[in-house]
Amino acid sequence: MKSIPEKIKIKDIAEKAGVSPGTVDRVLHNRGNVSEVSRKKVEEVLKHIDYTPNVYASALASKKSFSLLVVMPKYLSGDYWEKMEFGIARAAREIIDFRVSIEIIYFDQYKIDSFCQAMEKVLKKTPDGVLLTPSLKSVTCDFTCKLDQKKIPYVFVDSFVEEAHPLAYFGQHSHQSGYLGAKLLFTQKSDLQEIAVFSFFHVGQKPSNQISMRMAGFSEYVMEKRTGCKLHRVTLDAENPDQNEETMRNLFFGNKGIDGAIIFSSRAYVVADFLKKHNLNHITLIGYDLLDKNIVRLKDNTISYLIAQRPEEQGYKGIRALTDHLVFKKEIKPVNHYTPIDILTQENIDFYLEF
């Protein structure tokens, strides 16, 4: 059996390199005041012994502090975004000893101006890193370009914007998620002829980046597999339940052929409550996210499937990635860290464990 090597001390490295322990310490912590000759001697020894510095001890010893800003939608208790913040808070507890401060700037996800105001605050504060929930693609790109110019690293959660250059992305593959939503609909009911496709935002406002990508994935499946199916695209107003009731009444009672529906935001329960209220039991409904109100309708089979995307995991891993990059100087691979696309049903919801 191979023996475990003893811990290498600074004085051992110094003896091997023929320099003082102080010189080794300055090389390890990149403090300067070291000749090129001495530096090369130390680095050669480090390479030979495969030395791995204790980055956690170094970070604890450092007096440098770091500020992170989180830009995310404001929410009510029980909303999807609350779980995202749970994950952020969990990461914050783990890094509290490393002088990392986290401030959250909230915006109204249904108002582009609100997102712009939040990002202007970020630019004025010039943080060390940003955890960002993208809004409309063009607006997000405008602000991330400014972050790039200031060399402020940022991580995307919830949805990915291809034109931007984030340090990392944590979230679902939104296009594939929409594609899967369509596939689930036709798996549940293969002879669908008409489908209601719902989105939640203010009337007249463009859909968010994530919603647009889900719609694109859904439409791609329908075009590839079910070209004869008719889609009814419906906009529900986030702040007008009475209008939503009228919109759905006109939709479902005015189009008797609709037997499938999907909603690309976390408010599937709004559509499900309408279907339940009016005994429209023949309509297969697909929704997103584990809100308590959604789970109730999943359990009574008004919602056939919920697609979950682990928001707590996204928030947690996003903060940890920024911390690893800034505090521990770890290399963050420039790839998208896609979370699983979880499919939840009446049968498995009670056994589903979130992050």
Question: Does residue 345 belong to any structural domain of this protein?
Answer: no
Question: Does residue 351 belong to any structural domain of this protein?
Answer: no
Q: Among residues 308, 324, 348, which one ends one of the domains?
A: 308
Which residues, at least 6 apart from 52, have a Cβ–Cβ distance to it below 8 Å? none
d(CA 341, CA 347): 17
Q: Output the CA torsion 129→316→309→300 (10° steps).
A: -140
Tell me the residue type at 38: S
Q: Are residues 167 and 135 in the same domain?
A: yes
d(CA 252, CA 178): 22
Q: Are residues 34 and 97 in the same domain?
A: no
Q: Are residues 126 and 97 in the same domain?
A: yes
d(CA 214, CA 158): 12
Given this model, what pLDDT does residue 222 score?
92
Q: How far is CA 213 from CA 49, 101, 158, 169, in A?
A: 49, 33, 12, 15
The overall pTM is greater than 0.85: no
Q: Are residues 180 and 304 in the same domain?
A: yes
Question: Does residue 2 belong to any structural domain of this protein?
Answer: no
Given this model, what pLDDT does residue 232 score?
95
Q: Are residues 159 and 218 in the same domain?
A: no
Find the distance separating the first CA and the last CA of the chain, reported in whole Å. 38
* Boundaries of domain holding 71: 66-172+311-339
Question: In which residue ranges of the chain is pLDDT below 50?
Answer: 1-6
Q: Are residues 42 and 136 in the same domain?
A: no
Question: Does residue 17 belong to any structural domain of this protein?
Answer: yes
Given this model, what pLDDT does residue 58 score?
66
d(CA 79, CA 92): 21
Given this model, what pLDDT does residue 2 score?
35
